[in-house]
């Protein structure tokens, strides 16, 4: 009588259903599936990076008479120039004019 018992799994499923609701479960399972897919892709990419590094290290031990492969310099992006917003300045405050004098 451990976790292998079907009754335990039914109780766990009911608790999850009560906590999250039946409407959120499909969305959550899709999200978990996407995350696992991304994780698998990244793990494969890391394996390819390791293979590339190993082959590069193996190529570093070439005999002295052979020329190493041409290495391209790293590409540097153009500098980022901060943009200033184009705002019109408010009109300069004019000095108050004296009220016109009335002639009697």
Contact 68, 62 (CB under 8 A): yes
Task: Please provide residue 51's backbone torsions phi and psi, each rounded to the nearest 5 degrees.
Answer: -65, -40
Q: What is the pLDDT of residues 13-50, one digit of tens each?
A: 888 888 888 788 888 889 999 999 999 999 888 888 88
Q: Is the pTM of this model over 0.95?
A: no
Q: Which residue has the tokens 């009754």?
A: 7
Lowest mean pLDDT among 6-10, 14-18, 59-63, 73-77: 59-63
Residues 6+ apart with CB under 8 A from 63: none
Question: Can you give the pLDDT at residue 33?
Answer: 93
Question: Can you give the pLDDT at residue 28?
Answer: 84
pLDDT at 12 over 80: yes
Residues 6+ apart with CB under 8 A from 24: none
Structure tokens at 91: 């009109």
Structure tokens at 100: 């016109």
């Amino acid at each position: 009588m451990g976790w292998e018992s079907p009754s335990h799994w039914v109780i766990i499923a009911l608790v999850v259903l009560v906590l999250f609701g039946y409407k959120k479960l499909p969305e959550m399972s899709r999200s978990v599936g996407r995350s696992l897919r991304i994780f698998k892709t990244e793990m494969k990419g890391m394996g390819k990076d390791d293979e590339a590094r190993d082959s590069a290290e193996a190529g570093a031990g070439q005999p002295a008479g052979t020329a190493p492969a041409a290495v391209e310099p790293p590409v540097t992006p153009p500098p980022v120039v901060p943009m200033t917003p184009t705002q019109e300045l408010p009109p300069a405050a004019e000095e108050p004019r004296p009220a016109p004098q009335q002639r009697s």
